[in-house]
Amino acid sequence: MTLEQCYGAMGADYGDVFGRLRSERLIQKFVLKFLDDKSYELLCSSLESGNNEDAFRAAHTIKGMCQNLGFTVLARSSSALTEALRNGPTPEAGQLFEQVKADYALTVSSIEAYKAGLEA
Amino acid sequence: MKKEKILIADDSEMNRSLLSDMLSEQYDIVEAEDGVEAVSILRSSCSELSLLLLDIMMPNMDGFGVLEAMNQNGWIQDLPVIIISSESGSAERAFSLGVTDFIARPFDPEIVRRRVVNTMLLYAKQKRLISIVEDQVYEKERQSDLMIDILSHVMEFRNGESGLHILHVRNLTDLLLSCLVRKTDRYKLTMSDISLISTASALHDIGKMGIDEKILNKPGKLTDEEFAIMKTHSAIGANMISDLPVHQQEQLVKTAYEICRWHHERYDGRGYPDGLKGDEIPISAQVVSLADVYDALTSERVYKPPFSHEEAVEMIVGGKCGAFNPLLLECLTENIERFRSALAEDPLEEAKRSKIRSISEETLKNEGGGVSKRTLKLLDRERVKNSFYATMTESIQFEYGVNPPMMNFSVWGAKKLGVDEIIMDPLNNEKLLGIFGSGTREMLSDGVRSTSPDNPELKLDLPLKIEGEPRWCRIVIRSLWSDDAEPQFEGAMGIVQDIHDAHQKMQELEKKAARDQLTGLLNRESARQQIELKMLDHSDGNFALAIIDIDDFKKANDVYGHMFGDEVLKFVAAKLRDSIRQTDISGRYGGEEFLMFLEYKTDIEKTVDRIRRSICGTYEHYNVSVTVGVALSCELGRDYEKLLHAADEALYYGKRNGKAQYCFYNDSMKDILTDET
């Protein structure tokens, strides 16, 4: 699997990120790094415990990373969730979180698949 | 060439390394995980940094918090900041807090790199320009000051005033204005306004050039007619200035006009020449007017001796010398000491000193390297030295800053205490309070408050909890103050030394000195101290103080000898010690009298009875019996002397009524001792 295919699998635009970062090596490094980031765990746990402030920050961080890496789909849903949490919890946050969950799972599974291909 | 250093503050590790990857080839990178860490790095090494890349959303302290701290500490002037954030809505607030640039996410690395380079170049250029301009302004000011000094000296010569009046008025004007801006922002005065007004104040009496010398220097009182002529000097001065063919747009000239024309106006509107009232009179003229009157009062004149500072202030405030802005009068009365010293200082000496200062500055300038670079290098070395010693000496060192409230511990110190190296809001930090104990906080802050810029050191011996164990430590603190005319407390640095072993030894010695040699019980004085301490310590609780007296002790001495008597005393002491709890206090009051101090909850009578019985017994066939007099704090209050006296009276009562018993004090025994004697 190529990096471009990996982006395709998660519904993201490789052309956009390559246009900005201009180095496949750099993009690869940070795409793999995305797997180690703990913001998603923080998002889940703080939503569960009702800590809106931490949840907002975590959603915000995910959004930022996705924007930098051109993960368009997850960037869009995490951005929507960020806004829903910005001024305290809102009713639509729950549904938006479900969307983030799904997009995150897709993104991570795409990267995992790409990573497995590298190691093979 | 040494690489320039960039600080990246972002909570996401990935974002940091993305930026760091892009920039690390050309620059040294320092990273901070959140705002707190960023401020700590800025505090310790702001001058080494060339740029800060700052995220807005961060835990503990966000980017705005960092910017606010940078503003409060003045770092924002020296260090350019670029915000990198997707919160484009916050750009405006960030710019108003002094950031140079704002880059939105997702960013293009090439653009980031370009903007970083540009920002740093601009700043370097700006810094160079600022220093050139500063030098030129300084030179220009120096020359115009010189011209004004010459002019004013000529005027004084003609007016027959002491050669110092103009210098005094200038110093006082400067002082009054600095006090005034602290009090109110009503007049919107900047530092350069203050310096301008002070400079222009030298010209306040320039109009006296146009007054006949005979009137000007007349030793006696002026006639009404002469006084009317004298009064024209303010308008004449103003005309001289407004007739200047050039420079009419200069602020200095405008200010000088105000001062000349209106420095004899009164706040109540009854002055001359225009009868302006209140703040119709420009603040420059108001201040110079007060300074003029004050100096005239405290100086000697042909027609009067000098008044003391207190007399002068009293006359001014009492309205005997005109009417002034109440705010200015407050400035005068609230800063008495500073006014006194402003005039006590020999201005000629001061002038000499400032000349030397500028000569040395020139010398430094000519050395080529420039002052700032040399100073920075020295500072740098100091910092390296400090951190080297801090790591080598295994001592707990700390720095505390007020704004924002923050404590930094040396690496070794933090490890030893088991706390973080950086602690925000340390006065409310649970962990620190646990180590220092809650009472210590007040003691520390009281202690620090007792220091001053002239006397900044403080030494405290305290038990701290280190690694779970209480250990006696000596804390030596030096408070830090701002350079303002009225220094503000900015923080402190200090060192904590473990003096536990030495302290233990001292206590051991003290303990020995506190004990009765024969019986090993506390002596009278230390028993008193401990009892008083105990009564202070316990907020609620009932106490009983008892005096225990051995019955017929004289007989034991007489019949069996003093050696035997001593043994009886030891016997009773041992019995007493064994019959009370460890938290109770026992002591030898003197002779065959002992002290006992108990805390009790219920039925003290039973307890006293038990103790009395257990002390009695036979020692070497000799029957030992004691009488006990008891006084209770719930009846008499927590007053050692009172309790002791009452117990003594109860004891006496018991002795007189057959001995070998205990007796509780009650009011019927009052004055039993004094009545008998």
| Beta carbons of B564 and B556 less than 8 angstroms apart | yes
Residue B677: its pLDDT value, please?
47
Mean pLDDT, residues B149-173: 75
The secondary structure of B574-586, three-state, reads HHHHHHCCCCCEE
Domains of chain B with CATH codes:
5-132 (3.40.50.2300), 160-345 (1.10.3210.10), 393-505 (3.30.450.20), 514-676 (3.30.70.270)
Quick one: tokens of B124?
Answer: 């370097």
- Spell out where B10-115 has E strands: 28-32, 49-54, 81-85, 101-104
Q: Is B86 on the interface with A (CB under 8 A)?
A: yes
Residue B319: how many CB atoms within 10 A of its CB? 12
Quick one: tokens of B652?
Answer: 């006496």
Contact state of B12 with A34 under an 8 Å Cβ cutoff: no
- Spell out where B323-468 has E strands: 396-401, 406-409, 422-424, 457-466
CA B613 vs CA B5, B182, B606, B607, B616: distances in Å: 82, 75, 11, 10, 5
> Which of B12, B22, B23 has the highest number of chain A CBs within 10 A, making it the mutation to test binding with A?
B12
Residue B244: its pLDDT value, please?
82
Distance from CA of B12 to the nearest CA of A (A): 7
What is the distance between the alpha carbons of residues B66 and B38, in angstroms, rounded to a whole number?
7
Residue B602: its pLDDT value, please?
81
What is the distance between the alpha carbons of residues B177 and B192, in angstroms, rounded to a whole number?
11
- Spell out where B579-665 has E strands: 585-590, 593-600, 617-619, 622-624, 626-632, 662-664
Residue B278 pLDDT exceeds 90:
yes
CA B302 vs CA B161, B221, B316: distances in Å: 9, 10, 21
Distance from CA of A106 to the nearest CA of B (A): 20
Contact state of A68 with B105 under an 8 Å Cβ cutoff: yes
> Which of A13, A21, A78 has the highest number of chain B CBs within 10 A, making it the mutation to test binding with B?
A21
Contact state of A33 with B17 under an 8 Å Cβ cutoff: yes
Instruction: List for chain A the helix, strand, coil content (%; round to 5).
Output: 80, 0, 20
Grouping H, G, I as helix, E, B as strand and the rest as coil, residue A27 is: helix
Q: Taking CB atoms and an 8 Å cutoff, what residues of chain A touch B8? A: none
Residue B372: its pLDDT value, please?
53
**Residue located via tokens 């959004």:** A63
Residue B407: its pLDDT value, please?
86
- Spell out where B513-578 has E strands: 542-550
Contact state of B14 with A57 under an 8 Å Cβ cutoff: no
Q: Is B577 exposed, middle or buried (0-12, 13-18, 19+ CB in 10 A)?
A: middle
Q: Which of residues 23-82 of A touch B (CB under 8 A)?
A: 26, 29-30, 33-34, 37, 39, 54, 57, 60-61, 63-65, 67-70
| H helical segments located in B243-370 | 251-262, 283-298, 309-317, 326-334, 336-344, 347-366
Cβ pairs A/B, distance under 8 A: 50
Residue B627: its pLDDT value, please?
94
pLDDT digits (tens, 9 = 90+) for B631-666: 999 888 889 999 999 999 999 999 998 888 999 998
Residue B355 pLDDT exceeds 70:
no
Contact state of B105 with A33 under an 8 Å Cβ cutoff: no
Q: Which of residues 1-60 of B touch A (CB under 8 A)?
A: 11-15, 17-18, 21, 57-59
Distance from CA of B376 to the nearest CA of A (A): 37
Residue B458: its pLDDT value, please?
81
| Beta carbons of B510 and B614 less than 8 angstroms apart | no
Residue B274: its pLDDT value, please?
93
Q: pLDDT band at residue B285, thresholds of 50, 70 and 90?
A: very high
Q: What is the mean pLDDT of each run of 10 residues along chain A (120 residues)?
A: 91 87 86 91 92 91 89 93 90 92 94 88
Is A3-119 CATH 1.10.260.40? no
Partner residue facing A60 (CB), from B14, B18, B57 = B57
Query: Residues 6 or more apart from B94 whose CB is under 8 A from it?
Result: B56, B63, B64, B67, B83, B102
Higher pLDDT, residue B143 or B11 = B11
pLDDT digits (tens, 9 = 90+) for B5-17: 999 999 888 888 8
What is the distance between the alpha carbons of residues B342 and B164, in angstroms, rounded to a whole number?
12
Contact state of A61 with B17 under an 8 Å Cβ cutoff: no
Q: What is the pTM of this model?
A: 0.42
β-partners of residue B498 are B473
> For strand B469-481 and strand B457-466, is the pairing parallel, antiparallel, or unpaired?
antiparallel
**Residue located via tokens 């970062």:** A21
Residue B375: its pLDDT value, please?
57
> For strand B542-550 and strand B593-600, is the pairing parallel, antiparallel, or unpaired?
antiparallel
Residue B597: how many CB atoms within 10 A of its CB? 25
Distance from CA of A59 to the nearest CA of B (A): 11
Mean pLDDT, residues B24-41: 91
Q: Taking CB atoms and an 8 Å cutoff, what residues of chain A touch B17? A: 30, 33
Q: pLDDT band at residue B371, thresholds of 50, 70 and 90?
A: very low
| A45-49, B143-147, B244-248, B540-544: least confident range | B143-147
Mean pLDDT, residues B396-410: 83
Residue A77: its pLDDT value, please?
94
Residue B39: its pLDDT value, please?
92
pLDDT digits (tens, 9 = 90+) for B555-603: 888 888 888 889 999 999 999 988 888 888 899 998 899 999 998 888 8
Q: pLDDT band at residue B364, thresholds of 50, 70 and 90?
A: very low
| Beta carbons of B478 and B494 less than 8 angstroms apart | yes
Residue B374: its pLDDT value, please?
54
Contact state of B14 with A34 under an 8 Å Cβ cutoff: yes
Q: Report the mean per-residue pLDDT for chain B.
A: 82
Q: Taking CB atoms and an 8 Å cutoff, what residues of chain A touch B11? A: 57, 61
Higher pLDDT, residue B99 or B90 = B99
Mean pLDDT, residues B57-71: 89
Peptide bond into B80 cis (omega under 30): no
Q: pLDDT band at residue B394, thresholds of 50, 70 and 90?
A: low
Residue B386: its pLDDT value, please?
67
Q: Which of B403, B374, B409, B365 is nearest to B390 (CA)?
A: B409
| Beta carbons of B237 and B207 less than 8 angstroms apart | yes
Mean pLDDT, residues B95-109: 85
Contact state of B107 with A20 under an 8 Å Cβ cutoff: yes
Contact state of A60 with B13 under an 8 Å Cβ cutoff: no
Q: Is B511 on the interface with A (CB under 8 A)?
A: no
| Beta carbons of B631 and B568 less than 8 angstroms apart | no
Contact state of A65 with B15 under an 8 Å Cβ cutoff: yes
Question: Where are chain A's structural domains?
Answer: 3-119
What is the distance between the alpha carbons of residues A104 and A14, in angstroms, rounded to a whole number?
17
Q: pLDDT band at residue B202, thresholds of 50, 70 and 90?
A: confident
Higher pLDDT, residue B368 or B568 = B568
Q: Taking CB atoms and an 8 Å cutoff, what residues of chain A touch B108? A: 20
Partner residue facing A57 (CB), from B14, B15, B57 = B57
Between helix B524-537 and helix B640-656 the angle, nearest 10°, is 120
Q: pLDDT band at residue B358, thresholds of 50, 70 and 90?
A: very low
* Cα B134 from chain centroid (whole Å): 32
Partner residue facing A39 (CB), from B12, B21, B109 = B12
Contact state of B12 with A67 under an 8 Å Cβ cutoff: no
Residue B275 pLDDT exceeds 90:
yes
Residue B357 pLDDT exceeds 50:
no
Peptide bond into B106 cis (omega under 30): yes
Top mean pLDDT of B27-36, B91-100, B195-204, B477-486 is at B27-36
* Cα A25 from chain centroid (whole Å): 20
What is the distance between the alpha carbons of residues A87 and A93, in angstroms, rounded to a whole number?
11
